[in-house]
Every structure is written in structure tokens, then in C-alpha cells.
């Protein structure tokens, strides 16, 4: 192995170490003191509840662990958006689990909390996964109520989703394990079954202080909406338990007796590990994102037996298309080729750029995968579409539109992994978040933006300098460099995968070695949802 491989390996391993360290920090939620207070009340934390609930040694695919990262600092932050969500297994059955983290502002809802809850419900609805809500929340975070309460994608959308999922036969089970107040009280009661923990669980539309202010009645919270009240008097809850553990045991018992559901029928055989060592990805992926590399070297370390069946491999070579298996699941892969290739006309094509012939090939491949009912995996390391007179005269917009059309209308499930660059319209064509991938995850090497940091900074600098000159102001070379450095630093911060993950532009950041797990669990989830819509691309310019 050469020195370049070793440098790349060191750099990516360091990024993965930082990833684990940052995740360990957000996993503490509101911190060790807040965790201790939960334990003093006889309560488990949100993460402890999930670990107790899921099957022994089962995989848990966390969704949006870095939601809220670096946001709401004026309020002390909101680690993981104040809620833990992810796909796990209960009694062997895959499900979505959503647990309020009471160590973060008593589980109050920030704007990002609502967005994360809605994303979890979206995943459950798309894949017809049962949902378990572990409720422990003080309700809307009042200082930001105007950003969470009234709009379509705000707090109330969650209860609408409860109703839609129920009507479609998607099982929802709720456990009230702490506070559950105001509008939030509808969530567990709109579920199929609701249970409550005695002494810690409570549910009411208005707490004792608000009741006193509103109607003058003096009453304590336990009598108003505690476990005894709702299990023996109002009938709001179905079951009452003394401890968190007993409550979670009962959820497991419910899942143990649930009937099976129809499947989509995606093809799966016995799983096989890649023959080529996946750990070599660390050294293959260049530290310098401008340097070319062969994306096939990455693919062959992700797929079963390192076997890949290429589609039109001599045509449109700036995109790799082909069939493979991941953990036994058949999958169609569309990936940006990052090495410099020679076109059918003998012209050299830059890596990571989508050309007309590549877009045409990928569109056709996506149609074929829909015809054969094969899920799609997009591996993004894309700078955008080719520009310039030759590309424009060759119909790059038409061919790009063809690719976007086929990808947008795909009815088989789509999954996206952002390996490196994800710039401009390339993000769109390669199934960015706006195009409904069932799951979208980023490696620590990912960058998401309209264009690269260097290009954007120079463009923004030109705009600002021109604006100053229009006002009759001159700028010295030193001041111009200082302005460029400032713009570059700000833009580079926004390029970070953590910036994207904080805002749920991606579902999470993963070590490259976790990619097979994400795709396998994603396809398994998607297999719960039979395809009922016919594939139709509408009008395509040819």
C-alpha cells in the first residue's frame, strides 16, 4: 500500500473517530446530571427505554441523531432534537420507535423536534412499519411556539399522521412514561393502544396551574390526569403499570402476537460478505476531494461477494449503473464515477460530472429496475451536470430532465448515500432529500451545497466587491483577502455533513462500514410496503 493510501486512511479514520465522539456527546442528551434526576424518579432515560424494549443484541438504526446540532444555543441547545427515533426489532418484528428525551428541556418540542417526529412518521408510513411512541414530554417549547404550532409541517401534522396511519392499518402503540400535556395528549390516545406508568405518567389537556387560572378549580396533577384517573375513571388509557420495565414488557407481549402483513416481494438470497475488504474504503477515498478515484473500488467493497453486473459499462461512463446484492437483497446501483474517463467519441470526461450520455443511460437503467421491481441505491459524489456550449448544444438539459423524471417517478424504494460531493442539480438527479429516498445517509466526507466552497466563496466575493465599488468604495488586496477568508469559513461550515444532519437534510452520518447495515435494514423495511402504483414517467423529451 502506498503513502497516499495511508494518508487517506488516517484522514477518514480520524473523521470516523470524531463522528463516534460527537454521537457519544449527543447521546447524553441533557447531560449526566439530568440523567441522574430521571433515575431518581424511578424512570429510565429515552435511550435506556429503547435498549430495554428492542430484541437482545438487535440492530437499531437511529434516525437524525444530530438533529438540532449547533442550533438553539440561546436556549441551551437541543441535543438530538430532544427525541430519539429509529428502526429496531421487537419480538423479531421491524418497527419505528420514537422516544421523547426528558433530559432535554423536559422533552419539550422545538421546531426541529417536530420535523424529526414527522420524518419518523413519514418513514413508518412509507414502509408500513408499526410505530411505538414512548411519551415523556412537557409539550411545545413556548418561547418558540410561533415556529412550531400552526403551519402544515408543524406540531399538529403529527396527529393528522396518527389518523392516516391508523386508517391504513399501521399499528401504533403508545406508552405514557412521563408528562403528556396539551395538544400532545392526542398522540397516545390516537394510537391503537395506550398504557401509562403509575406515579410518573400523566396526561391532560391543561395542568393544575392552568386549570386554576382558567376555571378556578384547585386540583393536583395526579388526580387530574394520573395513571389511576385514566385507567380506572376516564378510561383514556388501556393499561396501567408500576414501572417503566413492566410497561415495556407489555409492548413486547403485544408485538409477540401481531399477525403478519403482505410483502412487496423484493428479491433476497443468503447474505455474503464482500470478498474485498470493506476497511480498504478508508484508504481508497481521497482526502483531497478534488482528486479522482475509481468508484468501482468503493462499490466492490460494499456488495456481496464483491460481485457487480454493470449496465452499459462502455457508454455514459461518468455514471456507473448495475445490479448487485447487499446483505442478500437485490439492488440496482447508480453511482457517480470519480475517475477521468474517455467518452464514446474519445473525449475525456471529468470525474463526478454528469454528461448527457450518462444521464440517458441512468434514466434507462432506473426504468429497467422499476420494471423488474429492484430497489435503487444512489451513491453520490457529484459536482453537477456538465456545462458549456458543447454540453448545451448536445441537449444536456433535456437528458438531465429525463434522468430527474425517471428517478422522481420511480415506484421502487430509493436509498441514497452521500459519499463525497453533493452539489447543485447533481444532488437532485442523484436522489437528494427532495426526491423521497426511503433513507438518506452521509459519510463524514460528505458536503452538500449549491456549489463547492471555493467556487461559491469566489462568486460571493465578486458580488460583494462589485457592490462596494458601486457605492464608490475601493477595497485593498488585504481587505479583499480578509473578506474572502470570512466568506469561505462561513460557507465551509454550511457544507459540513453535520450542518445538513442538524437540519434533517440527511437522516444521519455513518461510518462507511455501516453502509451495508443501513441499506439492508432499509430494504427490509421497504419490503413491508407492497408497490401498488404503476411506474409511469409521463412526458419525456427524447
Q: Between 459 and 359, name the one with better pLDDT.
A: 359
| Contact criterion met (CB below 8 Å) for 170 and 192 | no
Residue 230: DSSP 8-state: I
With b for 16 or more beta-carbon neighbours within 10 A and e for fewer, the 173-205 pattern comes to: bbbbbbbbbbebbbbbbbbbbbbbbbebbbbbe
Per-residue pLDDT of 181-235, as tens digits, reads 866 677 888 899 999 999 999 888 767 767 777 888 788 778 777 888 888 898 8
C-alpha cell at 263: 410483502
Predicted pLDDT of residue 346: 66
Highest averaged pLDDT of the listed ranges 140-149, 421-430, 444-453, 455-464: 421-430
Alpha-carbon distance 462 to 480, whole Å?
A: 10
Question: Max Cα separation, the chain?
Answer: 85
Residue 393 has pLDDT above 60, yes or no: no
* Ordered domains of the chain (ranges, CATH): 31-256 (3.90.226.10), 278-446+506-528 (3.90.226.10), 451-495 (no CATH)
C-alpha cell at 41: 424518579
Tally Cβ neighbours within 10 Å of residue 91.
Answer: 15
Closest listed residue to residue 93, CA positions, set 327, 249, 260, 250? 260
Q: Is the dihedral of CA 11, 419, 51, 25 positive or negative?
A: positive
Residue 149 has pLDDT above 90, yes or no: no
Enumerate residues 6+ apart whose C-beta is below 8 A from 436. 126, 414
Query: Which region holds residue 539: left if phi is over 0, alpha if psi is between -120 and 50, else beta?
Result: beta
Residue 236 has pLDDT above 80, yes or no: yes
Closest listed residue to residue 497, CA positions, set 456, 430, 447, 428? 447
Predicted pLDDT of residue 140: 79
**Count of residues making up the chain:** 542
pLDDT band, very low/low/confident/very high, at 492 (cuts 50, 70, 90): confident
Predicted pLDDT of residue 1: 59
Predicted pLDDT of residue 445: 97
Closest listed residue to residue 453, CA positions, set 482, 489, 477, 418? 489
pTM, rounded to two decimals: 0.93
pLDDT band, very low/low/confident/very high, at 487 (cuts 50, 70, 90): confident
Q: How far is CA 317 from its chain centroid? A: 29
Per-residue pLDDT of 89-126, as tens digits, reads 999 999 999 999 999 998 888 999 999 999 999 999 99
Per-residue pLDDT of 240-267, as tens digits, reads 999 999 999 999 999 999 999 999 999 9
Predicted pLDDT of residue 312: 95
Over range 519-529, report the average pLDDT: 98
Residue 178 has pLDDT above 80, yes or no: yes
Question: Is 264 strand, coil or helix?
Answer: coil
Q: Give the range among 5-19, 248-262, 434-448, 473-487 with minimum mean pLDDT.
A: 473-487
Predicted pLDDT of residue 410: 96
Predicted pLDDT of residue 406: 93
| Contact criterion met (CB below 8 Å) for 195 and 227 | no
Per-residue pLDDT of 51-89, as tens digits, reads 999 998 778 999 999 999 999 999 999 999 999 999 999
Alpha-carbon distance 216 to 211, whole Å?
A: 7
pLDDT band, very low/low/confident/very high, at 328 (cuts 50, 70, 90): very high
Q: Where are the beta strands (DSSP E) in 343-491?
A: 348-349, 353-354, 376-382, 384-385, 414-423, 439-442, 447-449
| Contact criterion met (CB below 8 Å) for 95 and 121 | no
pLDDT band, very low/low/confident/very high, at 344 (cuts 50, 70, 90): low
Amino acid at each position: 500500500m502506498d503513502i497516499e493510501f495511508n494518508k487517506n486512511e488516517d484522514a477518514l479514520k480520524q473523521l470516523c473517530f470524531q463522528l463516534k465522539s460527537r454521537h457519544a456527546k449527543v447521546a447524553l442528551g441533557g447531560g449526566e446530571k439530568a440523567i441522574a434526576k430521571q433515575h431518581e424518579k424511578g424512570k429510565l432515560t429515552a435511550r435506556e427505554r429503547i435498549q430495554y424494549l428492542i430484541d437482545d443484541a438487535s440492530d437499531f438504526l437511529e434516525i437524525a441523531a444530530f438533529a438540532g446540532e449547533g442550533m438553539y444555543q440561546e436556549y441551551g441547545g437541543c441535543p438530538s432534537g430532544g427525541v430519539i427515533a429509529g428502526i429496531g426489532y421487537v419480538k423479531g418484528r421491524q418497527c419505528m420507535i420514537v422516544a421523547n428525551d426528558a433530559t432535554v428541556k423536559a422533552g419539550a418540542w422545538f421546531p426541529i423536534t417536530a420535523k424529526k417526529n414527522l420524518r419518523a412518521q413519514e418513514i413508518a408510513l412509507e414502509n408500513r412499519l408499526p410505530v411505538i411512541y414512548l411519551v415523556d414530554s412537557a409539550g411545545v417549547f413556548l418561547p418558540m411556539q410561533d415556529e412550531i404550532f400552526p403551519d402544515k409541517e408543524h406540531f399538529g401534522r403529527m396527529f393528522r399522521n396518527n389518523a392516516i396511519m391508523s386508517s391504513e392499518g399501521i399499528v401504533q402503540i403508545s406508552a405514557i412514561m412521563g408528562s403528556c400535556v396539551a395538544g400532545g395528549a392526542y398522540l397516545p390516545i390516537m394510537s391503537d393502544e395506550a398504557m401509562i406508568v403509575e406515579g410518573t405518567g400523566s396526561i391532560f389537556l391543561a395542568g393544575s396551574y392552568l386549570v386554576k387560572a382558567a376555571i378556578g378549580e384547585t386540583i393536583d396533577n395526579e388526580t387530574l390526569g394520573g395513571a389511576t384517573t385514566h385507567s380506572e375513571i376516564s378510561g383514556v388509557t388501556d393499561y396501567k403499570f408500576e414501572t417503566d420495565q413492566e410497561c415495556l414488557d407489555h409492548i413486547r407481549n403485544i408485538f409477540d402476537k401481531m399477525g403478519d402483513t403482505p410483502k412487496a416481494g423484493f428479491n433476497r438470497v443468503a447474505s455474503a460478505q464482500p470478498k474485498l475488504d470493506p476497511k480498504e474504503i478508508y484508504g481508497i477515498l481521497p482526502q483531497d476531494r478534488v482528486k479522482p478515484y475509481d468508484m468501482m473500488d468503493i462499490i466492490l467493497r460494499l456488495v456481496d461477494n464483491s460481485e457487480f453486473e454493470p449496465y452499459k459499462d462502455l457508454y455514459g461512463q461518468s455514471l456507473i449503473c448495475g445490479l448487485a446484492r447487499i446483505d442478500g437483497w437485490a439492488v440496482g446501483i447508480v453511482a457517480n464515477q470519480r475517475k477521468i474517463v474517455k467518452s464514446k467519441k474519445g473525449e475525456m470526461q471529468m470525474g463526478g460530472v454528469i454528461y448527457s450520455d450518462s444521464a440517458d443511460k441512468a434514466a434507462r437503467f432506473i426504468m429497467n429496475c422499476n420494471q423488474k421491481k429492484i430497489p435503487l441505491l444512489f451513491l453520490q459524489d457529484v459536482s453537477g451536470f456538465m456545462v458549456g456550449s458543447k454540453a448545451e448544444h448536445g441537449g444536456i438539459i433535456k437528458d438531465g430532465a429525463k434522468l430527474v423524471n425517471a428517478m422522481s417517478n420511480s415506484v421502487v424504494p430509493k436509498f441514497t448515500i452521500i459519499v463525497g460531493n453533493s452539489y447543485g442539480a447533481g444532488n437532485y438527479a442523484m436522489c437528494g432529500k427532495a426526491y423521497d429516498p426511503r433513507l438518506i445517509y452521509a459519510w463524514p466526507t460528505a458536503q452538500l451545497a449549491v456549489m463547492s466552497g471555493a467556487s461559491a466563496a469566489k462568486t460571493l466575493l465578486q458580488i460583494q466587491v462589485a457592490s462596494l465599488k458601486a457605492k464608490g468604495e475601493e477595497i485593498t488586496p488585504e481587505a479583499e483577502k480578509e473578506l474572502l477568508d470570512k466568506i469561505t469559513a462561513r460557507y465551509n461550515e454550511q457544507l459540513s455533513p453535520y450542518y445538513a444532519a442538524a437540519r434533517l437534510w440527511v437522516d444521519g452520518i455513518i461510518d462507511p462500514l455501516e453502509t451495508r447495515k443501513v441499506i439492508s435494514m432499509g430494504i427490509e423495511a421497504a419490503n413491508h410496503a407492497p408497490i401498488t402504483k404503476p411506474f409511469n414517467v409521463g412526458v419525456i423529451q427524447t
